[in-house]
Amino acid sequence: MNGTATATAKPPFGYLAEFESVRAVYKAAEKVRDAGFKHWDVHSPFPIHGMDEAMGLGRSVLSWLVFFGGATGALTAFILQGFTQIALYPTIVQGKPANLNTIPAFFPVIFELTILFSAFTVLFGIMGLNQLPRLNHPLFSSKNFCRFSDDGFFIVIEGRDSKFSKEKTKAFLEEIGAKEVELVEDDA
């Protein structure tokens, strides 16, 4: 579906290489990393244990975002309760005070909102860091790629990588054990 109309100068999206097994794709990823590519990825039906090291990726920054999300939640709950119960509308019931001594009674709601805001940060953090939702992507034009969610293991080296070359990259991927290498056009 890509071949005909896109004969213009637009560079391809990249190479999609399929590998036999988890083990093969893991070994190949180490070689791609050592060859110095920057814009590439491994696509698999489940996260492969140890793949972050094999790809040379560090720890996800998400935990920091969630820390600040949770802190915002705690602060929100504290201000909401403190302001309304002590300043705005003190409810004098059950013999409970409406001053600084009230603070222990605020802990359950502070706890709940900390969790709530953290959970939202996790969700939107993942979507933001991964740039999702993105319903249209050049990879979806490959017929083979849809097997990534079944039992296919793929390495994609993108055309925008400075080391990318149409001939050498293909040969490289075949050399490191790819079962099949396919050129994916950038039709977006």
Residues 74-113 that bind another protein (CB under 8 A): 80-81, 84-85, 88-89, 91, 93-94, 96, 102, 105-106, 108-109, 111-113
Q: Which is nearer to another protein, 34 or 150 (CB)?
A: 150
Asked if residues 68 and 124 have their Cβ atoms less than 8 Å apart, the reply is no
Residue 4 amino acid letter: T
* Residue 167 binds another protein, judged by CB under 8 A: no
Q: How many residues bind another protein (CB under 8 A)?
A: 71
Q: Taking the complex as a whole, how short is the minimal distance between the CB of residue 25 and another protein, in angstroms?
A: 8
- Dist. CA 30–CA 40, nearest whole Å: 12
- Name the strand (E) or helix (H) holding 172: helix 168-175
Q: Taking the complex as a whole, how short is the minimal distance between the CB of residue 168 and another protein, in angstroms?
A: 23
* Residue 71 binds another protein, judged by CB under 8 A: no
Exactly one of 1, 6, 10, 21 binds another protein (CB under 8 A); that residue is: 21
Q: Taking the complex as a whole, how short is the minimal distance between the CB of residue 8 and another protein, in angstroms?
A: 25
- Dist. CA 53–CA 30, nearest whole Å: 8
Exactly one of 59, 100, 162, 167 binds another protein (CB under 8 A); that residue is: 59
Locate the DSSP E strands across the chain: 14-19, 40-43, 153-158, 180-184
* Residue 47 binds another protein, judged by CB under 8 A: yes
| Planar angle of CA 178, 182, 184, nearest 5 degrees | 135
| Interacting residues of 137 by C-beta distance below 8 A, sequence separation 6+ | 188
- Dist. CA 32–CA 17, nearest whole Å: 12
Exactly one of 10, 35, 38, 52 binds another protein (CB under 8 A); that residue is: 52
Q: Looking at residues 105 to 164 of the shown chain, list those that interact with another protein (rule: CB under 8 A).
A: 105-106, 108-109, 111-113, 115-116, 118-120, 122-123, 125-127, 129-130, 132-137, 139, 146-151, 156
Exactly one of 18, 44, 173, 185 binds another protein (CB under 8 A); that residue is: 44
* Residue 46 binds another protein, judged by CB under 8 A: yes
- Dist. CA 100–CA 55, nearest whole Å: 53
- Dist. CA 27–CA 72, nearest whole Å: 42
